[in-house]
Structure 1
Amino acid sequence: MRINRLFDIINYQIATYDKDVALAQKVMGEWKGYSSKDVKFIVDNLGLAFLSAGIKTGEKVAIISENRPEWNFIDLALQQIGAISVPMYPTISAEDYKYIFEHADVKMAFVGSEEIFGKAKIATEQNKIQIMSFDKLPQCTHWEEFMNTGESGNLADLDSLKEQVKSDDLFTIIYTSGTTGRPKGVMLSHRNIIHNLLAVEDRLIVPKGTSKALSFLPLCHIYERTGSFCFMYMGISIYYAESMEKIGDNLKEIQPHVFNTVPRLLEKVYDKIVSKGYELTGLKKSLFFWALNLGLKFEPNKSQGFWYDLQLNIANKIIFSKWREALGGNILQINSGASALQPRLARVFWSAGIPVCEGYGLTETSPVVAVSICNLKDMRIGYVGKLVKEVQVQIAEDGEILVKGPNVMQGYYKQPEMTADAIQNGWFHTGDIGEIHDGGYLKITDRKKEMFKTSGGKYIAPQPMENKFKESSLIEQLIVVGENKNYPAALIVPSFDGLKDYCRHKDIPYTNDAEMIQKPDILEKFEREIEQLNKYFGKWEQVKKFTLLPQPWGIETGELTPTMKLKRKVIHTKFAKEIEELYS
């Protein structure tokens, strides 16, 4: 059966796998599953309900919710009538909602919770947008009530509309979170996403039809959304995590075979594991760090000799087996994307029998451009893998990665000048700097717009430096600054868990975070850490001064995008005084 539109996946899954659990979420402490046929029944009725409500082909409907099956139901139902979904991050402000509602001409919105409803209501005070909810709220229509209005509809009418939807039709407008300015509406077609899910299918090594995935990255982001379509196509059951805080519990309950993540979450998993290692004593502690040091030397595609292999085998039995159990015990593949993965994390996880495959792409490329091949022979740590089929890459003279292929967006909604600037002669300009190495492996070295010059005329690429510095167990977040200054400096948010472990180890009484980062012996420790890590960089790149900050950067406080990238301009503005003091 050929997949020409994304909603064709529903019938494909029924014909090929007929899943008992296609989608699942936890309700009142119990996992509630929807079969492939349940999904079809609900989506068809929702499609008829949209027709009854007067939603027409080409009109826009917003989805603002945490991950849950209802998200997929609305998305698929809109596709079937040729309407266009506008997904939005639950975490953004009411002002951002208002901008997107107005810019996209949204006619209706579905919200997950009361908190989101409150923001959406503020955003729609001046225009008439009907709001429905996934949670039962007294103030608005519940999605099931809305669905029931479609029961009297005629399926023949729905089938007629389905037939009119073409592969190249626009199916969604995704407003990119952006690290600066107003978000841009990326227009993606059915064909864009279908190409991508078919292109990555052979990079997923999990068995079709019987595997389970845990989903916790936002569905409004193209990475998880394309991933979910791929899972559906491959007959992989999708279980939605209860929350970011419950991921550990849900992993143990579901015992998934695969999940998608961002490096920041893997860093937190790693830091938690190492923190527990510091709590051990005697022989157990020695064995833990012996195993960890073995892992840090691991190379997936090189033989390191009989003695190393023997030691690693022992480490896997007595130490790393517990890591795998903490992830549910069945993990065959973890896909990491959205930002750069620290090589040491890839080494350690692969050494522990937990394959972490890095990939690269953007919303504008649906998203995947390149992704790792998930086996020891073809894996290259520090690279984002090989290009997926039918995608071409050129490296421009200034090092920028240019992409061409069926995955490249239709353009930015209502912004033809910006579209023309981004796509020139069929090549999408990514804004990322990279290299292609022997065998076609792609390496990302920096963001074009994030590179800066010191007053001495030397170029600084901050991303590789920031990733290296974050290898320290004492550093949670860091930004390298110094544009037009005579040396680079850094703002550092310490890992306060790591700092507490250090203080315990050194018998230093710990008071509170804000006080500890003022203490001379703590500042001296950070100076030694920076000095040690500076050795990996040229003299002109080395961080000469730093400031420790008492509060972590977050999405809600504005320093991070919803995919946890640094909003550099925001940080420069908020901490202008601290940056200025680094050069006074």
Structure 2
Amino acid sequence: MNINRLFDLIPYQLSKFDKSVALSRKEAGEWKSYSSRQFKEIVDNLSLAFLAQGILPWEKVAIISENRPEWNFVDIALQQIGAISVPMYPTITSDDYAYIFDHAEVKMIFVGDQTIYEKAADVAGDRKIYSFDQLEGVEHWTSLLEQGANGDLAVLEASKEKVKPDNLFTIIYTSGTTGRPKGVMLSHHNVLSNVLSVSRIMSPPEGESKVLSFLPLCHIYERTASFCFLYLGYSVYYAENLETIGENLKEVQPHVFNTVPRLLEKVYDKIVAKGYELTGVKKQLFFWALNLGLKYDPSVEMGAWYDFQLKLANKIIFSKWREALGGNIMQINSGASALQPRLARVFWAAGIKVCEGYGLTETSPVVTASMSNHEEIRIGWVGKIVKDVEVKIAEDGEILVKGPNVMQGYYKQPDMTAEVLKNGWFHTGDIGELDGQYLRITDRKKEMFKTSGGKYIAPQAMENKFKESPLIEQLIVVGDGKNYPAALIVPSFESLREYCKRKDIPYTSDEEMIQRPDILDKYQQEVDSLNKYFGKWEQIKRFKLLEQPWGIESGELTPTMKLKRKVIHEKYAQKIEEIYQAK
């Protein structure tokens, strides 16, 4: 059958796979699942209900919820009548809610739970709100199902026929590291072209194929992935929350999941922390296997002796890592920010194929993706350019992208659109280099700065390297216009406690520990050991430890965990000044 619009993927899955579990979510301790047939029936009834409610083509409906099947139901039901979904992060502020509701001219709102409802209701005005959870005084989404059940499917089919591939299907407001969020306009063709390109390089296992989903559906990364999973016939299980991922992995035993580097870093740090708790021979074997893995390069012949050792390490150590991920993992896709090469090496060594990709909301999102085979994987690169997408490097090093996946523009912002879309090429703002079809990202164009000595500093690459230290949770490189780079460091207090325990240092409070001379000396050693990877002009000369982690709610991070540099510079202006005033 022809697949021209994203909602065509539902009848496609039904005709090809007819899954007994298309979507599933744990409720009250039990997994509640929906088959492909139920998926289609619910979506059709919702579409008919939206028509009965008077939702017109091109009108906007907001979805604010954690991942759950209802999210998909509403999203695809809107598509079938030509309406436009406006997904929003539950974690953003009420002020951002109000801005997006007004800017997008939202007509109706769907919320997940009580907390989101209260935040949305404060600024919703007279907009109708439906909830996914049963909430007192709020109309439940299933009331729409009942209304749609009496609708005429012939009317719905006529509505679907009017929706064309180039029609807008969503406006995604990017979190942005500065200023108000921008509404990225994506058509069915934008995202579907990307779905088909990416699906070409994914190989589902024979028989049952499962995925655990926990990255937010309101972000284009997991949104496009969800359509890939529909197309490839994966059963999608939604994790309860970030804290239960480990438990859910063991329950679901997925073949694939998507993640961001920060979560992989946390997994790795926990594994290493457990290694330190071991004693005797077990501890020696653990770190022997770990160090072996950190040297691994999947695309290089490592030699017979290394291969023998790695086989042994996989049997006695790394097999436990795979079991912790459910035992069936074929591939982990990492995106949204840079993956530390050492993590890629050690996970590949452990038989866990971590495949890094690159993209932006404006590119639907995938521009490049790593292949999950030893012949084509390149550690430190973000993969090969996917089918139908073109990439070139501008004279100043900026990555430019052209293809059917490139957005239609920013909603109601033609000037901003013109700034980034020139002669058919989207200007990403990222700096990189190409080697044939392989792409490497080196930094963000707007984040590079110059010292008073005229030397350029690329902070992102440095920050990624320094976070390899298990004692460093978060770090920002500063020094624009100063005579040397410095850093604000948020320690990994969990790792710091473990370190103090091993060294018999009494741990009092986070605030007191980061002022102790011996702890400051330890962090100086960590900085010195990582400085050697950079030129003298780039090396961190001074740093200051902070007791409070940066977060989304507190404003220092975007919902995709990127640093809001301007916010951090303003919030910690005095501490940064203290660094440069110190003798």
3-state SS, counterpart of residue 102 of structure 1: helix
Amino acid aligned to 2:264: L
Q: Does 1:207 align with 2:205?
A: yes
Q: 1:534 aligns with which of 531, 554, 571?
A: 531
Could you give the per-residue CA deviations for residues 519-569 of structure 1, whole angstroms, max 9, x where no partner exists? 000000101110111000001000000000011111111111111111111
> Quick one: distance in 2 between partners of 1:484 and 1:147?
60
> Quick one: distance in 1 between partners of 2:354 and 2:255?
12
Amino acid aligned to 1:38: Q
TM-score (normalizing by structure 1): 0.99
Q: 1:550 aligns with which of 547, 556, 580?
A: 547
Q: Does 1:51 align with 2:51?
A: yes
3-state SS, counterpart of residue 480 of structure 1: strand
The residue number in structure 1 matching 2:14 is 14
Q: 1:501 aligns with which of 498, 502, 505?
A: 498
Amino acid aligned to 2:445: K
User: How many pairs were matched up?
Assistant: 581
> Quick one: distance in 2 between partners of 1:552 and 1:510?
18
- Gap change, CA 1:324 and 1:387, over 3 Å in 2: same
The residue number in structure 1 matching 2:180 is 182
Alignment of 1:459-478 (within 5 A): 459-478=456-475
Tell me if the contact between 1:475 and 1:494 (Cα under 8 Å) persists in the aligned partners.
Answer: yes
The residue number in structure 2 matching 1:33 is 33
> Quick one: distance in 1 between partners of 2:535 and 2:324?
40
Tell me if the contact between 1:400 and 1:433 (Cα under 8 Å) persists in the aligned partners.
Answer: yes
3-state SS, counterpart of residue 203 of structure 1: coil
Q: 2:316 aligns with which of 315, 318, 321?
A: 318
Q: 1:164 aligns with which of 158, 162, 165?
A: 162
Q: Does 1:253 align with 2:243?
A: no
Tell me if the contact between 1:275 and 1:497 (Cα under 8 Å) persists in the aligned partners.
Answer: no
> Quick one: distance in 1 between partners of 2:14 and 2:212?
21
Q: 1:141 aligns with which of 139, 142, 165?
A: 139
The residue number in structure 2 matching 1:327 is 325
Amino acid aligned to 2:296: F
3-state SS, counterpart of residue 493 of structure 1: strand
Over aligned residues, Cα RMSD in angstroms?
A: 0.7
Q: 1:484 aligns with which of 462, 466, 481?
A: 481
Could you give the per-residue CA deviations for residues 52-104 of structure 1, whole angstroms, max 9, x where no partner exists? 11100110000000000000000000000000000000000111000000000
Q: 1:517 aligns with which of 511, 514, 517?
A: 514
Shift of 1:175: 0.1
Shift of 1:377: 1.2
Moved more, 148-157 or 135-144: 148-157
Tell me if the contact between 1:45 and 1:147 (Cα under 8 Å) persists in the aligned partners.
Answer: yes
Tell me if the contact between 2:204 and 2:232 (Cα under 8 Å) persists in the aligned partners.
Answer: no
The residue number in structure 2 matching 1:577 is 574
Tell me if the contact between 2:486 and 2:579 (Cα under 8 Å) persists in the aligned partners.
Answer: yes
The residue number in structure 2 matching 1:455 is 452
Amino acid aligned to 1:76: I
> Quick one: distance in 2 between partners of 1:137 and 1:304?
59
The residue number in structure 2 matching 1:102 is 102
3-state SS, counterpart of residue 556 of structure 2: coil
Tell me if the contact between 1:215 and 1:260 (Cα under 8 Å) persists in the aligned partners.
Answer: yes
> Quick one: distance in 1 between partners of 2:553 and 2:135?
24
Amino acid aligned to 2:512: E
Tell me if the contact between 2:261 and 2:340 (Cα under 8 Å) persists in the aligned partners.
Answer: yes
Q: Does 1:229 align with 2:227?
A: yes
> Quick one: distance in 2 between partners of 1:208 and 1:392?
32
The residue number in structure 2 matching 1:298 is 296
The residue number in structure 2 matching 1:270 is 268
Shift of 1:206: 2.5
3-state SS, counterpart of residue 6 of structure 2: coil
Tell me if the contact between 1:206 and 1:333 (Cα under 8 Å) persists in the aligned partners.
Answer: no
> Quick one: distance in 2 between partners of 1:533 and 1:419?
40
> Quick one: distance in 1 between partners of 2:137 and 2:429?
44
> Quick one: distance in 2 between partners of 1:513 and 1:274?
21
Shift of 1:138: 1.0
> Quick one: distance in 2 between partners of 1:216 and 1:203?
22
> Quick one: distance in 2 between partners of 1:271 and 1:335?
19
Q: 2:564 aligns with which of 563, 567, 574?
A: 567
Q: 2:368 aligns with which of 359, 367, 370?
A: 370
Could you give the per-residue CA deviations for residues 489-529 of structure 1, whole angstroms, max 9, x where no partner exists? 00000011111121111111111111111100000010111
Shift of 1:209: 5.9
Alignment of 1:105-116 (within 5 A): 105-116=105-116
The residue number in structure 2 matching 1:73 is 73
Shift of 1:107: 0.1
The residue number in structure 1 matching 2:342 is 344
> Quick one: distance in 1 between partners of 2:134 and 2:107?
21
Tell me if the contact between 1:208 and 1:234 (Cα under 8 Å) persists in the aligned partners.
Answer: no
> Quick one: distance in 2 between partners of 1:15 and 1:528?
60
3-state SS, counterpart of residue 537 of structure 2: helix
Tell me if the contact between 2:4 and 2:189 (Cα under 8 Å) persists in the aligned partners.
Answer: yes
Amino acid aligned to 1:499: L
> Quick one: distance in 2 between partners of 1:123 and 1:382?
44
> Quick one: distance in 2 between partners of 1:402 and 1:377?
27
> Quick one: distance in 2 between partners of 1:71 and 1:302?
43
Shift of 1:205: 2.6
Tell me if the contact between 1:494 and 1:548 (Cα under 8 Å) persists in the aligned partners.
Answer: yes
Q: Which runs of 5+ in 1 are unaligned?
A: none
3-state SS, counterpart of residue 4 of structure 1: coil
Tell me if the contact between 1:401 and 1:430 (Cα under 8 Å) persists in the aligned partners.
Answer: yes
Could you give the per-residue CA deviations for residues 111-139 of structure 1, whole angstroms, max 9, x where no partner exists? 00000000001111xx3210000000112
TM-score (normalizing by structure 2): 0.99
Identical-pair percentage: 72
Shift of 1:208: 6.4
